[in-house]
Homo-oligomer: A and B are copies of this chain.
Amino acid sequence: MNIEQVIRIADLNARYADAIDAGRLEAWPDFFLDDGRYRITTAENVAQGLPLSIIYAASRAMMRDRVSALREANVYEDQRYRHVLGAPLIAADGGGGPRARTSFMVARIMRTGETVMFATGCYEDRVVLDGSGGARFAEKTVIIDSRRIDTLLAIPL
């Protein structure tokens, strides 16, 4: 096992989650390569081999557009997320960077203070680690366990 790789990928995901949880949505696209891909789907879709996505962005530019839209719609202001992540499970690098699967739980905290378990699932990531300590997502697929899609799922997970 490559300990440094485990720690670096765990750190990348922890910083990613921290940006979202702190409401720093503008920082979200910067965790990806320029042509990085982001999508949210469900475990049911994956099991059935369906390519359906709830959210899909194929570049950092698309992610930035999404953040602008969220800010204009003022959706984010009324809620707060809190991610807790498991340890990354890393698969051999088949070219294009190591792949990692990481379990998550996300709680949603409403402005009233009410806290609920909002989403559980796993990240399936392809990561590019450069020689100078940098790390970005080439691909991040968020696979949600529940089939019931909350209509508030407008914010990146």
Which residue numbers of A lie inside 8 Å of B, CB to CB? 1, 3-4, 6-8, 10-11, 13-15, 17-18, 21, 43, 80, 82-89, 101, 103-105, 107, 109, 111-117, 119-122, 133, 145-148
19 further A-B contacts with Cβ under 8 Å, apart from A82-B103, A84-B105, are A1-B4, A3-B7, A6-B11, A11-B87, A13-B87, A14-B88, A17-B103, A18-B89, A43-B80, A82-B122, A83-B103, A84-B84, A84-B85, A105-B107, A109-B145, A112-B147, A112-B148, A113-B146, A115-B120
Collect the chain B residues with CB atoms within 8 Å of residue A147's CB.
111-113
Collect the chain B residues with CB atoms within 8 Å of residue A120's CB.
82, 107, 109, 115
* Cα A109 to Cα B104 with chains together (Å): 13
Return A96 CB to nearest CB of chain B, in Å.
22
Count of chain copies:
3
Collect the chain B residues with CB atoms within 8 Å of residue A80's CB.
43, 145
Contact of A145 among B82, B85, B146 (CB under 8 A): B82
User: B114–A148 contact, CB under 8 A?
Assistant: yes
User: B107–A117 contact, CB under 8 A?
Assistant: yes
